Amino acid sequence: MTNIKYFFQKNKMLIIIAGIILVCSIAIAIGVYAQITNKNVIGGSQEEYADYEELESNFEDIFSNSINKEATAKMDINYDDYIYCRYDIQEEKDGYKINAKIPMFKIETETTKGINQEIYNTFATKIIDIVNNSVTSTIYELSYVAYINNNIISLVINCKYKDGANPQRNIIQTYNYDIDNDKLLTIQDILNYKNLNKSDVQNKITEKITGINNQLKGLNSQGYNVYQRNENDEMYIVDNTPNFFLGKNNYLYLVYAYGNKNYTTEMDLVIF
């Protein structure tokens, strides 16, 4: 007993230090666990651990003008058979500057022909108009990215348009194509694929837009010129979500790009 008492007296400082280290380690572990378990929960089940803020901040970086081969694709799919750059236009003259890579579906079905025609009508005809009629300084940039997740191809087009003294517009257009069934998928189809409950998705959209709007109201009251969201706009109803796609690792992006209709670069992303 004397030896044990002598050991503790002699090593008292080491024991205290070891105890402090142990307590700190436990505290750190608890903190990490709390952060992980605080991740967004959809439909009562734990969502995949993801840093949604990082996905949002890196959104502009995804447009590689190619198919993202890190998506979850079927092994027997030849990527090059589906999406390709149909028009690569780089031209700069007095009055305009164009840097556009316009994608289209390579496979030809009734559905993909319709998609290709819509892409052409929306983006290619605008370029023709700029070349023929631009009398002010116009900048037109277009890039894209595609993902293949199982049997679904998601094509995302990002267009930046600056016309004269008007503010720049950022336009996002998405298509989600079911390879096996040759059809465009609705938002409900994607929710079913992701096994997401519509009410839970609606709650997250409402919470996100309301939170952003509250922040903007504060900035607006301080004299800042901000793009105010209309929380009651029907675009925020799940079924009316204008653009959505499945990205890398099957993450679902809901995209509210206000530049689609207005002169602004503002957009909101809600990610699952």
- As a whole number, the mean pLDDT across the chain is 83
Q: 101 forms bridges with which residues in the sheet? A: 88
Domain ranges of the chain: 2-38, 46-271
Does the pLDDT value for residue 19 go beyond 60? Answer: no
The mean per-residue pLDDT over the stretch 65-75 comes to 76
Q: Which stretch of 26-40, 166-180, 199-213 has the lowest confidence by average pLDDT?
A: 26-40
The mean per-residue pLDDT over the stretch 211-232 comes to 83
Task: Indicate the pLDDT class of residue 13, thresholds 50, 70 and 90.
Answer: very low
> Does the pTM of the predicted model rise above 0.95?
no
The mean per-residue pLDDT over the stretch 244-261 comes to 96
- Scan for tokens 């009410």, then name that residue: 199
Q: Tell me the pLDDT tens digit for each residue of 185-218.
A: 999 999 999 999 999 999 999 999 999 998 888 7
CATH architecture, domain defined by 46-271: 2-Layer Sandwich (3.30)
- Bigger pLDDT: 125 vs 71: 125
